Structure 1
Amino acid sequence: LHAEGVTPFFSPGRLTFVSPKRAEDILWCVEEILRSSAVPLVVADLPGLPALTPVRRLHLAAETGARDGGCAPLALLLTPGTGGAPGIESRWHMGPIPQAGMDNWQLTRIRSRSAPPRRWHMTRHEGRYQLAPASQGTTQI
């Protein structure tokens, strides 16, 4: 994550970066953080798509963290390309909507176990981001 890119959302000082020596240890770190329920959100930038078994372990770790820690932690897995990891709850895409002088984004729910695909526009207004359903004629990914 780029510090200047996250500044409009939160202070970069609130981030903790973990850099395991081996790529296969990334998911183990995420699992332990979810199980501890120490933080509400874990973001993992993965070099490839995880297999079903490690994803299932993340689900179980998050359930344990929610039960024992009182906080339902969320894992956001950033994957290369268009994603497609098995066993995930939902698949999302966020991309900019080019417009001169504007800070606009499109958030798309590509797939979800419990909801249909849908798009929203996120626009910065008076220093805050607002989310609104996208109209039919908007940019698609």
Structure 2
Amino acid sequence: MKKLALIALVALIGFTAQAQQAKITFKTDTIDYGTVLKGSDGVRVFEFTNTGDAPLIITDVKSSCGCTIPKKPNGPIAPGESSSIEVKYDTNRVGPIRRSITVSSNATEPMVALKIKGEVAKENSSILEKS
């Protein structure tokens, strides 16, 4: 009886190991805005690919602050397909940019942290100027 239970357990583990799963692979997990002027375009894009063998479903994308608005892709991303997450930072806020974006999905790693960094300079100051 013990042998039968052991065989069933090994078969079950082998079956679940072969289950299909989505896997999200980002080109980069950090976007550096560099130094941008106040009021300039704050939109940047995180590109990713589903490197798994099941459809990838992004369930939620959240920012650490209301000054950063992420936009998740609509619908599932098929295996081998690429998509993107658009992030818009409010460049009317002068100063350093240090924010994180959390991506939740059905991937093997269900939560991924992305980062944006940089600095927003005043309109009348030179980008070469250091404060």
TM-score range, shorter chain: under 0.3
TM-score (norm 1): 0.22
Of Structure 1 and Structure 2, which has the larger fraction of its residues in helix?
Answer: 1
Q: Which has the higher contact order (CA 8 A, sep 6+)?
A: 2
Of Structure 1 and Structure 2, which has the larger fraction of its residues in strand?
Answer: 2
TM-score (norm 2): 0.24
Bigger Rg, structure 1 or 2: 2
